[in-house]
Amino acid sequence: MNRLGAVEAVRKLQRRELTAVQLVRACFARIEQRENTVHAWTALQKQAALDRAEELDRGALRGPLHGLPIGVKDLFDTVDLPTRYGSPIYDRHRPGLDAASVALCRNAGAIVIGKTVTTEFATYQAGPTRNPRNEAYTPGGSSSGSAAAVADDMVPFALGSQTAGSIIRPASYCGVVGYKPTFGGIPRAGVKSLAESLDTVGGFARSVPDVALFSSVMMRDTRMLDLTYEDKPRVGMYRSLQWRHAQAETKEAFAQAAAILSRAGARVEEIPLPPEHCVLVQLHSDIMAFEASQALAYERTEHAVQLSPKLQAILESGAQISAEQHINNLARAAESRARVDAWFQDYDVLLAPSASGEAPFADLGTGDPQFSRAWTLFGLPCINLPFATGPQGLPVGLQLVGPRHQDHRMLAIAAWIHARLLTANSPDIGASDMWPRG
Amino acid sequence: MNRLGAVEAVRKLQRRELTAVQLVRACFARIEQRENTVHAWTALQKQAALDRAEELDRGALRGPLHGLPIGVKDLFDTVDLPTRYGSPIYDRHRPGLDAASVALCRNAGAIVIGKTVTTEFATYQAGPTRNPRNEAYTPGGSSSGSAAAVADDMVPFALGSQTAGSIIRPASYCGVVGYKPTFGGIPRAGVKSLAESLDTVGGFARSVPDVALFSSVMMRDTRMLDLTYEDKPRVGMYRSLQWRHAQAETKEAFAQAAAILSRAGARVEEIPLPPEHCVLVQLHSDIMAFEASQALAYERTEHAVQLSPKLQAILESGAQISAEQHINNLARAAESRARVDAWFQDYDVLLAPSASGEAPFADLGTGDPQFSRAWTLFGLPCINLPFATGPQGLPVGLQLVGPRHQDHRMLAIAAWIHARLLTANSPDIGASDMWPRG
């Protein structure tokens, strides 16, 4: 029962064919069985979740998320659970309010069962989470616990955030759908700020319609509930100038997807890569470092010794960038963004790698966000579609990128594309059944 | 001594001609004398401020704000002082960290002596603060306490924020310099979010160089420390389509400024108002209402009864706007912004009204932000220059608007313009001496 997707579960809950108590119990049974291996959670509240579930079971239907258990990345403030932001500085922190996104989910009937592991302030210092497909590997970061919890069927949905590649990469490594909306799409109030012009709230689920259901509530966009798409999409294949860092499994998945989509009637064309895109990874890194050194000023000036050396180095490098240089960087990003925006006159979506390949070993860190930096910099909506398998039997995803503020349409096309990719690969099973489960 | 400006005070502090303890004591003496009338503060920490001052006096020079006492709008998180966001919901709130802007000031040597009154979540429900020039009148909002404290010589600088007109309007009503940087210029981390695409951190001081000193620290832009300007500015006079709401004193100040600047050698031209600007006030209001209803989701869903009827109405109206409409609104704002950006090929700054006139009576609310909405919507840097006097003897300011991310240049031109406006009006005194003091 814990393996039910959100759309299916909420349908049963609304028909009272399933109780919220049953669903919460099933999720906790899975967590109790697996958490010692996966380490997805920083805090859990079983009794409070069951009490809330019982209340929902007894009462009227609460909203479109009635009775659905969710996980919340521990970068988001919560009124009833500790919030550590992945840092020992906040070991005893209780923010006293809910992040806006959490409040919107709760108000629509969702049950927050716990907080999920984030890397240190959503940067690179890993938490304890392991990839649920094989615990020798990283789940990716920074939304490590949210991606792992959803992949391991502990919850049907979990909140995450992306400043570089913190949704798309863990989704790809864990084999789930990860969705980063257009910049500003879901409110950020109550989410610890890392880089103001980049931070974006999103989430993880095991299917496109499941992620659309939650996003529809948080973005107040009911168009996302109807993912009907009758057309044939025009797909621009964007290898990216980081292609040389892509491993064989990613290159193969990319080619395979192009073939499948062409056969399905999509117009698939390779986009010539603008040479100036070679600067985008560095541009994003510099903008993020400058803004992080500003946003984390309190931690940097008052608690430096409790920051990891990795984060200290990033903040230090950011502090070396002058305002003048930063403003130039923002201007260059805006120019580049305008040129990419124009591509969407010819393409409905772009298809791009989600990560260089399968998840790396856990002791090598949380992987590299290089394939996501440009899209986050541009503020474009992105989604990871789990699809292929690498040499270690781990998931490999592909990324769709849509035009700004056309999220509802991008999600509809993503559902169309994902269905075709999955059918071609393994006609009888859903994406998240393609890889080993604990 | 409490009347010293920040630049002058810090020069004396750095030469050890003045101690931080003396300055803090002088500020508290003024507060003790006047706070019962002005009601600028929600919390004060005299002993902690004196302890910190003593520490600074004994130690090495700490930074460019060494020993300067400041006030912090109670919308900003502070680790050592309660933070109410102007709402009874947060009566017992202690955030457990400093907003990034506060940390940057403290790290440069500033001493936070207390929190200043904000309206409810920086919207329209007034706090107890009165206009220090005449307590029958409002100081404006939402940064009511910060503007009043600086105008009344209680502190040389105070932090504020603007989502509609919350810096420029109270600065105009109280007769101080109020500066709203380019959107994103000062980090927002730790400031309660009201409308993500509009909220901007800024501050109040009694002169342009004083506000530039603090901004230079928080924006990490040392160019702001040299306000030399040798040229003659090209000034675009922008009446605004709200001109019919401008009172006689504002119209007169506007005409007088044009004449003074022309005589001083500036090129002064009236900008023809684009008819489509008639929608900007409504566009800003709608974007703000939508985003506020999202950002304040926790308060709206969990603590509705503790919200003022005024705020409830705004959030309710925002909740009626669909995502589709909001996205259209953002697109229309972006188009309009691009056209105004192009004006800066012909003009170095725009001169515009700051408010319709003098401060209204306190029981009529905090005044109308209509003359600021367009500039906040466009994210352009703005500064209020206190200059004229209305029929009740209260201050009337004028607003300069600069090109995006050219804040250092706008501040230099503002200093040039302000010097000329003041000399013409009252050759022997500074701006803040033009109006009655308690």
Beta-carbon separation of A187 and B220 below 8 A: no
pLDDT for the residue numbered A416 = 98
pLDDT of residue A430: 64
Q: Both tokens of residue B164?
A: 């509609």
Rounded Cα–Cα distance for residues B139 and B130 (Å): 5
CA B351 to each of CA A411, B111, B238, B253, B348: distance values in angstroms, whole numbers, following the listed order: 45, 34, 6, 11, 10
pLDDT at A437 over 90: no
CA distance linking residue A376 with residue A133, whole number of Å:
27
Task: State the angle between helix axes of A407-425 and A248-263 in degrees (0 to 180), rounded to the nearest 10.
Answer: 100
Contact by Cβ (8 Å): B51, B58: no
Task: Tell me the mean pLDDT in the region B71-94.
Answer: 97
pLDDT recorded at residue B233:
98
Measured CA to CA, the distance from residue A264 to residue A425 in angstroms comes to 13
As a whole number of Å, the end-to-end CA separation of chain A is 16
The residue among B155, B166, B176, B57 whose CA lies nearest residue B112 is: B155
Tokens of B290: 């939508």
Cβ pair A101:B297 closer than 8 A: yes
Record: contact A187-B298, CB cut-off 8 A: no
d(C-alpha A215, C-alpha A10), whole Å: 15
Q: What does the block give as tokens for A333?
A: 């990003």
Nearest to B123 by CA among B144, B141, B99: B141
Peptide bond preceding B172 in cis form (omega within 30 of 0): no
Q: Which residue has the tokens 């856990």?
A: A362
Q: Model confidence over B392-433: pLDDT tens digits?
A: 999 999 999 999 999 999 999 999 999 999 998 776 666 667
Residue B428: per-residue pLDDT: 62
The residue-averaged pLDDT of B285-301 equals 98
Which residues lie across from A234 on neighbouring strands? A267
Contacts of residue A99 in chain B, CB cutoff 8 Å? 298
Are β-strands A111-116 and B157-162 bridged in parallel, bridged antiparallel, or unpaired? unpaired
pLDDT tens-digit map of B194-206: 999 999 999 999 9
Q: How far is A175 from chain B (nearest CA, A)?
A: 30
A73 is catalytic: yes
Residue with tokens 């069962």: A113
Q: How confident is the model at residue A427 (pLDDT cuts 50, 70, 90)?
A: low
Distance CA A147, CA A40 (A): 8
Average pLDDT, chain B: 96
DSSP code of residue B181: P
Average pLDDT over residues A58-86: 98
From the list B103, B223, B297, which residue is nearest A103 (CB)? Answer: B297
- pLDDT, one tens digit per residue, over B242-259 is 999 999 999 999 999 999
Q: Please give the helix or strand (H or E) that residue B233 lies within, else none.
A: none
Q: What is the identity of the amino acid at B93?
A: H
Other CB atoms within a 10 A radius of the CB of residue A269 amount to 14
Whole-number pLDDT of residue B101: 98
| Residue in A146, A166, A240, A356 annotated catalytic | A166
Tens-place pLDDT, residues A163-189: 999 999 999 999 999 999 999 999 999
Does the distance separating the beta carbons of B327 and A405 come in below 8 Å?
Answer: yes
Instruction: With a cut of 90, say whether residue A208 has pLDDT above it.
Output: yes
- The residue-averaged pLDDT of A396-410 equals 98
Chain B residues within an 8 Å CB radius of A107 = 297, 301
Can you read off the two tokens belonging to residue A311?
């984060």
Q: Does B91 touch chain A (CB under 8 A)?
A: no
Indicate whether A116 pLDDT > 70.
yes
List all residues 6 or more positions away from B327 whose beta carbon is below 8 Å from its beta carbon: A405
The residues of B assigned a catalytic role are: 73, 142, 166
Residue with tokens 């490999």: A396
Task: Indicate whether B107 pLDDT > 90.
Answer: yes
* pLDDT tens, residue by residue, B50-65: 999 999 999 999 999 9
CB atoms within 10 A of CB B293: 22
Upstream peptide bond of A142 is cis (omega within 30 degrees of 0): yes
pLDDT at B84: 98
Considering only alpha carbons, which residue of chain A is nearest residue B104?
A: A297
Domains and CATH numbers, chain A: 6-271+342-433 (3.90.1300.10)
The number of CA neighbours under 13 Å toward the Cβ of B171 is 37
Instruction: Report pLDDT for B435.
Output: 84
Percent of chain A with pLDDT over 70: 99
Which residues on chain B are in Cβ contact (under 8 Å) with A109?
Answer: none
pLDDT tops 90 at residue A211: yes
Binning chain A into helix, strand and coil, the percentages to the nearest 5 are 45, 15, 40
Q: Which of A137, A132, A142 is nearest to A180 (CA)?
A: A142
Q: How confident is the model at residue A434 (pLDDT cuts 50, 70, 90)?
A: confident
| Spatial distance between the Cα atoms of A152 and A41, rounded to a whole number of angstroms | 12
> In which order are the strands placed within the sheet that holds B349-353?
B41-44, B111-116, B69-73, B157-162, B200-205, B177-180, B382-389, B395-401, B349-353, B234-237, B267-270
Q: Give the helix/strand (H/E) hosting B400.
A: strand B395-401
pLDDT at B430: 64
pLDDT of the residue at A267: 98
Interface of A with B in 50-79 (CB under 8 A): 79
pLDDT of residue B429: 61
What is residue B334's predicted lDDT score, i.e. its pLDDT?
Answer: 97
Which of B100, B221, B405 minimises the CB distance to A298?
B100
- The whole-number average pLDDT for the span B93-104 is 96
- Predicted confidence at residue A47, as pLDDT, reads 98
Please list every residue in chain B whose beta carbon sits closer than 8 Å to the beta carbon of residue A76: none
Using alpha carbons, select from A413, A8, A11, A17 the residue that is nearest to residue A229: A413
What token pair was written down for A428? 């009888």
**Minimal Cβ distance to B188: which of A79, A196, A405:** A196
Query: Is A438 a residue whose pLDDT tops 90?
Result: no
- 3-class secondary-structure state, position A267: strand
Would the CB atoms of B298 and A102 count as touching at under 8 Å? yes
* Average confidence (pLDDT) over B343-364: 97
Instruction: Quote the CA–CA distance of B277 and B337 in Å, as a whole number.
Output: 10
pLDDT-based confidence at residue A436 (cuts at 50, 70, 90): confident
For chain B, the residue count is 438
| CA B164 – CA B177 distance, rounded (Å) | 17
Judge if ipTM > 0.95. Answer: yes
Identified catalytic residue from A87, A101, A142, A372:
A142
Q: In which element (H, E) is residue A327 found?
A: helix A323-343
Does residue A209 sit in helix, strand or coil? helix
Instruction: Give yes or no for A295 touching B (CB within 8 A).
Output: yes
The mean pLDDT of chain A is 96
Asked if the model's pLDDT at residue B190 lies above 70, the reply is yes
- pLDDT tens per residue across span A31-59: 999 999 999 999 999 999 999 999 999 99
